[in-house]
Each structure stands twice: as structure tokens, then as C-alpha cells.
Structure 1
């Protein structure tokens, strides 16, 4: 095989794993940036900067925009769920003290919730392997949260019920958005559709920042670098990488590797923030990830995945 072809093959093989690694850093970016800005304010600034770059890219790389006001409306609703509720919930949960690794694991259960809801909402039937995965996921989460119980006044070590509620909203948002997008947004161009989603989510998060936050930002080098990473690497580069994977028929490989996001995030959080999970929580994480793997591999086609 010529060197150029060998290099191309290696790059293609590495693309799914690279995408997962980049995606996992979104939780770390939230942890780095939230000491300097409130969550809704942080996300609004991120979306504004992302749109300033993504709109020209969508026009240059695609030029195709959603057709009809009805599709625009459906895409906007999916954006409110996938980006607004999901990212808003994740950032708010971490802002309230939820460890980044634990937040990643809990929202990483999205395939389990999506599979459970797909039956009554979309008429999809679950196989025995998927039911086993759902049970394992619930058992795993119970072990993880049980290992974080605080014998003192707080509900959990370092965070309370508010953080858990925010992450639950994020989980419901990404699962509901996945199902809604699958049912109503089948004709959505990926890049320009993402622009519409960011516009809708950014408007609502901006309103949330206006109504509920002081909108103060401490512009430090750490915050600026974190914001730049989230905009350029997560919201732009990772989206373009996903487009390249889909065009090459590699989306299924991305879906099958997505269960690596929680342990990769937990490893990064341990290294950067000294976030440690007790042995029972580590065991629960392994059980929950095994449940996600069973559900994902039992699906006839990959469902939409979490975004950070």
C-alpha cells in the first residue's frame, strides 16, 4: 500500500475515536469555565461565537438550508431540546457542584432512555438484549449514586438535589430531542440545521441569562482558552468531523464508541481536578456502560447521541 493510502487509512480508522475523545472534553470545558461565568451566560456567549463561524461555513461547505417554515420550526424545537435543555442542564448541574465524570455518566445513559421511550412513541420494539441493557444501566446508576451519598447534611458528596435535577433535565432533553429529531427532522441538512438549532437554543439561553443571572463574566486567560476550545473544537471541528464520518459511512462506529465518553471524561476529571469515584461507584460505572453497550448494539440503526 502506498504511504499516502496507508496514512489515509490510519486517519479514517482514528477518526471515530478522535471524535469521542474531543466530545468528552466538553464536560471538562464546563468545569474549567464555570468559575468565571454563570451557566446560561457562558452558553449564550459560546453559541453567539459559534454562529459567527458556523453560518459562513454552512454557506461555503453546503449552501443547502432547510426547506419550508415547518421544517425550520421542527429543527428549532429539536435544538431547544438537544442544545438548550441538554447543555443548559449539564452546565447548570456542574455549576451546582456535580462532578464532571458523574455528569457525563448520567447523561451518557441517553441511549437507554431513548430505547425505553422509542417503543411507545415510535413503535420500535425492544429485544431481550436491550431490556437487559436497561436493567444494567439502572443498577449501575444506583451503585454510582449510592457511592456518592453523603452521610452529612447534603444529599450527595459535593452537590445536592438541584444538581441532580439539572442533569435529569439534560438527560430528558437529549433523549426527547433525539426522538423528536428522528421523527420530524429527517430532511435536515446537518450543518445548516445545526445553525438553526443553535439559534433557537441560544435565544432561550440568552433569555434565561437575562432573567435569572447577573451576566457577569471574569475574562481570564483560562476562561478565554476554555471558551475558544468549546467553540472551535467542540462546536465547529467536532461537527465537521461528524459530517466527514457520516459521509464515509462511519456513523455506526461513532455510535458504538460513544460508551467510552464517561470513562474518558472521568479519567480527565481525575487528572485535572482530582475527582475520584469510590470503588462501588467505579463498579457502577462499568455496569452502566455495559448496559449502554447492550442497548446501542441491539439497535437496528444508531440513535442520535449526546452533545456537549
Structure 2
């Protein structure tokens, strides 16, 4: 089972073995314990990387669909289809006291993570170059750690901060920073607001709602987004039936992202803490580049490779176990 990475709950992270009966067992048991904790650690990393790959794929699929339906209409139908898939999966989990708590949590988190984060970033892209949006969104780990520290969930960790800074530098190297044009200030305010909402959602979920079942929370998050984006969608005549076949496939994939990507995101917050979960967003430029090269045939240059190396090095520094803490 995945464990928390913030150094707490040491009783959960400690392997318990019976007393060995001979010298051979005495040397074997510690080795087994080390292998077990290393396996847990790599399991957590694998979940974070998988989240980044799935989350990044939404940018490629979204670009295809947005070209034909526009941003808010795309988001509306994305969440309509997500709700239709989640409804039978949730079933009776939507009822009872836990179901009511999941509804309240889902509506609030939906406003923060689906409506504010996606809506503001899509709007910011109309005023900012994409590179600037990527740069600001990559500040999420710093914002999340600050919020979590203010709420007493985490403490400032010099190793984490150094790792985040190195990885953030890699993001800047990889995507670059192009010149801003008139009206960009409002776009910057939008994307900063989007990232703050994203970070606030992570801290809020860990602090109040991380004991709730994930599927019902995701269901109500999607319902909230569907209702909020409905007015914009109804003002246009675009519909999924009018899309080209490749745009329809892209829209279906966006639903997959909403289902699996959000579930993995909530799972990362629950098991690794808000700031560590947010740190995997630093991998998004690298994951997006790899997917673009694989699917679209995008070339990978020296600048991309240098930025990717810095991102990986920074995340290694941020994620590696600290001396004096439980290594699990």
C-alpha cells in the first residue's frame, strides 16, 4: 500500500518482523526490510509518473478538440461524458452520510480544480504564450508547500525547496520564455489565480476530505464543472456529433483523463502529501514532449534534453528520503 512521504505516521512505515532465531536470519531480515521499503518508494514514484503522463496527454487531446469546438464547449462535453461514466460506477456510494460529504467536497474541489484551474488557464492562453502558462503552473509545488505549511500540514523542507527550484529551472530551459505583448498582465493574473486554486484544492483535500471515497468526490467535481461550463456551451452550436473522427477520439480520451488522472491526483495527495503530489506537475513538460514526439513526431533538441535532465535531477533531490526520517 502506498504510504505518506512527509515523515509522519512512522508506525505505518515500519516493517514488523518476528525475532530471528539464528545469525543467518538476523542478517536476512534487515535486508528484506530495506527491499520492502525501496519497493514502496518506487511504487509511489511510478504512480506520480503515470499521473504526469496521463495529465500531460490532455494538452495534446485538448488541442485537437478545442480547434473544432472551442475551450469551454470542450470542457462541458468532457465533463458531461465523465459524469455519465462515473454515475453507474459510484452507484449507492452517492447515498448516505459519506455520499453527502462527498457531494459537498466535490462541489468545492470542482470549483477550485476543474472550473477555476481549467477555466482560468484556458482564458489565459488567449492572452499569454503557452510557455508562460506552463511556467506559472509549474510554481504549484512552491505555492502548495506554503499553503500546507501555513495550515500545519507540512513544514518547510530545504531539500524539497532545492529540488523544486532545480526542476523549475529545467522547466524554464525546456519551454523558454517568449516576449509578452499588450494585455498579458491580465493573462498572468488569470494563470496565477488558476495555480493558486489548484494548490488550494490539494491542501483542502488533504486537510478535510482525504478520508472520503475518491469516485464519488470525482463525480461531484465533474457535475460541478459540467454545470458551470454549460452556459458557454449552450451559446454555441458545436456538438460532439459534428466533430471529425480524430477530434471525437480526442474528446473520449479527455474523459479518460478526467477519470484516471483526477483519481491519481487525489490518491497522490492522500498518500504523499500536497506539496509532493504537486511536484509531479514539474514532469508535465517532459511528459508532454515525450508524447508529442511519439504521437506527433515532434523533434527533441539539445535545449529539451538539458531541461529534461534538470527536471529529473530536481525531482530526485526533492523526492529522495531524508536522513533522520523514515525511509518508506
For 1:43, the equivalent position in structure 2 comes to 75
What secondary structure does 2:98 align onto? coil
Q: Distance in 2 between matches of 1:88 and 1:140?
A: 26
2:284 to 258, 261, 268: 261
Match of 2:257 among 215, 227, 234: 234
Supply the distance in 2 between the matched residues of 1:289 and 1:168 (Cα, whole angstroms).
24
TM alignment of 1:20-35, pairs within 5 A: 20-35=52-67
Residue 206 (structure 2) pairs with residue 182 (structure 1): yes
Choose which of 129, 137, 140 in structure 2 pairs with 1:110: 140
2:108 pairs with 1:84: no
Q: Deviations 1:139-171 (Å, cap 9, x if unpaired)? A: 4555567x3323xxx549xx9556554433332
Give the superposed CA RMSD: 4.3
* Partner Cα distance (1:63, 1:70) in 2: 9
Pairing 1:170–2:185 present: no
Give the whole-Å Cα distance in 2 for the aligned partners of 1:162 and 1:128: 33
Contact 1:75 1:181 survives alignment (8 Å): no
Q: Deviations over 1:205-241 (max 9, x none)?
A: 224556xx6464552222211111111x21235567x
- Cα pair distance change 1:265/1:102, threshold 3 Å: farther
Query: Mind listing any 5+ residue stretches in structure 2 that lack a counterpart?
Result: 1-38
Contact 1:34-1:42 at 8 Å conserved across structures: yes
More deviation, 103-112/216-225: 103-112
Q: For 1:265 and 1:102, how far apart are their aligned partners in 2? A: 16
Relative to the length of structure 1, the TM-score reads 0.69
**Deviation digits for residues 31-58 of structure 1 (CA, Å, limit 9, x no counterpart):** 1111111211110111111101111111
Q: Does 1:193 align with 2:217?
A: yes
Aligned partner of 2:161 in structure 1 is 131
The 8 Å contact of residues 89 and 169 in structure 1, kept in 2 or not, is answered as yes
TM-score (norm 2): 0.65
Q: Is the 8 A contact 2:55 2:261 kept in 1?
A: yes
Match of 1:122, SS state, is: coil
Q: Quote the residue 2:23 is aligned against.
A: none
Cα separation, 2, equivalents of 1:42 and 1:78: 20
| More displaced stretch, 29-38 vs 12-21 | 12-21
Written as runs of structure 1 = structure 2, the 5 A alignment for 1:240-251 is 242=264
Which position in structure 2 is the counterpart of 1:67?
98
2:234 is equivalent to residue 203 of structure 1: no
The 1-side partners of 2:318 and 2:137 are apart by 15
> In the alignment, is the contact (CA less than 8 A) between 2:132 and 2:177 conserved in 1?
no
